[in-house]
Amino acid sequence: MALQTLRKGASGWIAKIFLVVLMLSFAVWGIADVFRGFGNSTVASVGGTDISANDFRARYLEQVQQIGRQTGRGLSPEQARAIGLDRQVLNQMIADATLSAEAKRLGLAVSDQQVADAVAANPAYRRPGASAFDPAYFAQLLRSNSLTEPRFVQMERARMLRDQMIQSLGTGLAVPSVLVDAVHRYESEARDAAYILVTADAVGALPAPTEDELRAFYEAHKITFRAPEYRKVSVLALTPDALAAHIKIGEEDARAVYDREQVRFGTPERREVRQIVFSKAEDAAAAADKIKAGASFSDIAAERGLKPSDTDLGLVTKASILDPKIAEVAFLIEPGSTGAPIEGRFGFALVNVTRAEPASRKPFDEVKGEIETELALAKARRELLDQHDAIEDERASGSTLGEIAKKLSLNLAVIDAVDRSGRAPDGKEVDIPARTEVVAGAFASQPGVETDTIQLPGNGGFVWFQTDAIIPARDRTFDEARPQVEARAREEAVAKAVETKAQALFDQAKSGTALAQVAGGADLPLKVAEGLQRGRAAPPFSVEAIAEVFAAKEGGVGMVAAAEAPDRIVFQVSKITVPPEGPQDQQVAAQLSAQMENDLLVQYLGALQQQLGVTVNQRVLSQSVGGGAGI
């Protein structure tokens, strides 16, 4: 953490741009063509500046640990290499070395006083909350990171030199107003378009294709009607439901459950209950005496300033009343009466019952089937693993799935033909457990080859399957494919008719006829789409159609495919709106400026690389990140 603090102190907007560039420049200028071995302690060299394996390893491990802290989980060497972390770190160090070498060549220097002033002025090197530099705290930071003061000064001097070189490239580049305006127009421009939507309904009913036309269409598109490869598959599914179907439950067992769980198969008694709570026992007793003398429960409530909602507990069951003493009295007294005062959880209470709904219970014959099914499933789940072991024993002895199913009284599903998508020749999905896994396994295996058992999720059982036969792909005859041929031929005829009609309308509009007149002549409505924005679909305009709208000039017309086939759109751009520039455009200009600076820095680094030369010891690099001896 302390080392991270030190690095934070050396950061700034220049460093941020620099790090972004470093992530990209490796791919831009590359060093793959200069990989070679040249020593045991140097991982790379830039001109005459070497990058030691120890320095690289320390930086690399620091990055690995930092990612681990951010993600909350450790990063293995294999994972780090998989995301290219070794190359990213090396790329940063090569770029550092490149700029340091160039600074040395140019004779640039930073004095000790400049370094000292920069460190003293940096808040990151002060105690938390301190306003002045503390040498003791700074020395503590250095010690916690195994750094000496001379070593740190050397690192800081090199960093300051690199920052000066980057600044000299031209930070804060002014973005041409033409570019800012182009980006603003591209991002914020909105368009309105009048349009005619030509659908299949617009072309009316088309004549049915003749026999000769169907046969010609079949021959021209024969490959699209080809029957795919199918597999014949046998499936043995061992599930609780499958086992339960063969389990018989006696009536006495079902009745025992019925008698034991009476509440489950009926509705308990419910009563409409009211209560008044008193803080003193004598007040409750006095109220009870008034009720005995002829006053009503409602009179007592009104006398105490209580509204009906303050006393009403509603139509409730005994179990739903929180206070057990209140519940006991409420379901003991007669409906229409008030009980004697009792001491409850919240004080002394009077309980009144206005009416009662008696308990009800479903007849045994009505729930018998439900109980038997539940008991059969429970027993099936207990027997599931025993049956699994029995099936595996039979497989080990060489029995086929058909023989096993017959011996153990299980159902064997035989699928005569299924394609890779899990569909039968009629296009319907086959109905089997674990369909995706079974179909994939069937197409990965050969007839007669034993396949792995599939375990269903949630202890749902097991599935065994075998490929019985391979039905190779073939060309369907015309008679076999006739329904599909007719459907496809009609679809294509409709699509062509829609396109032809839309083309005719477009030609009229292009020749100068007003789009409203074109729509009226075709007896089609003229619609208007307002506020269309680049890159955003607005049905019936797809994203591709929107691109065509923005490619046209104001007043220009066009024809595009609608979002839903085979519909077509004939449109005319009626209005172009470009809002005035706002604060977001200043942000865009700042981003463009940063990108231009990055591009300039990338080019500068690339040129320096070519001049100085870069070599990388692939073997040492691989060893440093735990990749073995390398190649």
What per-residue confidence (pLDDT) applies to 21?
A: 41
Q: Each residue of 67-95: b (16+ CB within 10 Å) or e?
A: beeeeeeebeeeebeeeebbbbbbbbbbb
pLDDT tier at 10, thresholds 50, 70, 90: very low
Cα distance between residue 313 and residue 308, in whole Å: 10
Cα distance between residue 351 and residue 340, in whole Å: 8
Peptide bond into 540 cis (omega under 30): yes
Q: Each residue of 598-622: b (16+ CB within 10 Å) or e?
A: bebbbebbeebbeebebbbbbbbbb
509 close to 557: Cβ distance less than 8 angstroms: yes
Length of the chain: 631
pLDDT tier at 628, thresholds 50, 70, 90: low
Of the ranges 233-242, 374-383, 449-458, 511-520, the best mean pLDDT one: 511-520
Q: 414-439 pLDDT, tens per residue?
A: 999 999 999 998 889 999 999 999 99
Residue with tokens 């569909």: 423
Q: Which two tokens stand for residue 52?
A: 């030691």
- Mean of pLDDT values over 610-628: 82
29 pLDDT higher than 80:
no
What per-residue confidence (pLDDT) applies to 31?
A: 40
- CA-closest candidate to residue 515, choices 526, 524, 504, 523: 526
What per-residue confidence (pLDDT) applies to 172?
A: 64
Q: 301-318 pLDDT, tens per residue?
A: 998 889 888 899 999 998
Per-chain mean pLDDT for the chain: 85
488 close to 496: Cβ distance less than 8 angstroms: no
Q: 156-178 pLDDT, tens per residue?
A: 888 887 877 777 776 667 777 78
Strands laid side by side in the 230-238 sheet: 412-418, 230-238, 461-471, 454-456
What per-residue confidence (pLDDT) applies to 556?
A: 95
What per-residue confidence (pLDDT) applies to 427?
A: 86
Residue with tokens 């429960």: 297
495 pLDDT higher than 90:
yes
- CA-closest candidate to residue 313, choices 341, 343, 285, 352: 352
142 close to 556: Cβ distance less than 8 angstroms: no
What per-residue confidence (pLDDT) applies to 430?
A: 93
Q: What percent of the chain has pLDDT over 70?
A: 92
pLDDT tier at 19, thresholds 50, 70, 90: very low
Helix (H) or strand (E) holding 599: helix 583-612
Cα distance between residue 262 and residue 255, in whole Å: 11
472 pLDDT higher than 50:
yes
Per DSSP, 522 falls in state: T
- CA-closest candidate to residue 460, choices 434, 430, 422: 434
Task: Name the phi and psi angles at 11, rounded to 5.
Answer: -100, 165
